[in-house]
Amino acid sequence: MRIATFNVENLFDRVRAFNDPDPDTHKDVLKAHSALNQLFEKPVYTEADKAEMLTLMGKLGILRSDEGPFVWLRRIRGKLITRPRRSAPRIVATGRGDWVGWCELKTARVKEEAITMTARVIRDMNADVLAVVEVESRPVLTEFHDKIYVDLPALPYRHMMVIDGNDRRGIDVGLMAREGFTLPSMRSHVDELGQNGEPVFSRDCPEYLLTTPGGERMAILPNHFKSKFGGDQARSDARRQEQAEMTASYYARLLSEGIENIIVLGDFNDTPASAPLSPIFETSLKEVKQHPAFTDFTFDANTGHRGIGTFGTGADSLEIDHIMLSPALWSKVQLGGIFRKGAWTASNRWPMYPELTRESYAASDHHGVWVDLDLD
User: In this structure, what CATH number is given to the domain that contains residue 284?
Assistant: 3.60.10.10
Same domain, 7 and 94: no
Residue ranges in 133-196 assigned as alpha helix (H): 138-144
pLDDT (mean) for 344-352? 92
The tens digit of pLDDT for each residue in 145-184 reads 999 999 999 999 999 999 988 887 778 999 999 999 999 9
pLDDT of 306 reads 80
Same domain, 103 and 128: no
- Look at residue 19 and tell me whether its pLDDT is greater than 90: no
pLDDT (mean) for 240-263? 97
Q: Which of 160-174, 296-310, 332-346 has the lowest mean pLDDT?
A: 296-310
pLDDT (mean) for 187-216? 93
Same domain, 156 and 263: yes
User: Which pTM value belongs to this model?
Assistant: 0.86
Same domain, 137 and 98: no
How far lies 283's CA from each of 63, 241, 324, in Å? 48, 14, 10
The CA distance from 138 to 160, in Å, is: 7
Q: Which domain holds residue 208?
A: 2-12+109-373
Are 134 and 9 within 8 A, CB to CB? yes
**Total structural domains in the chain?**
2
- Look at residue 230 and tell me whether its pLDDT is greater than 70: no
The CA distance from 105 to 139, in Å, is: 21
Same domain, 81 and 119: no
- Look at residue 367 and tell me whether its pLDDT is greater than 70: yes
113 burial type by CB count under 10 A (0-12 exposed, 13-18 middle, 19+ buried): middle
How far lies 171's CA from each of 30, 45, 141, 174, 202, in Å? 14, 30, 12, 10, 10
Confidence of residue 282 (pLDDT cuts 50, 70, 90): very high
Same domain, 28 and 144: no
What is the average pLDDT value for the chain, to the nearest integer?
93
Domain end residue (candidates: 108, 141, 170)? 108
Same domain, 29 and 138: no
The tens digit of pLDDT for each residue in 69-91 reads 999 999 999 999 999 989 999 99
- Look at residue 231 and tell me whether its pLDDT is greater than 80: no
pLDDT (mean) for 306-324? 93
Same domain, 63 and 204: no
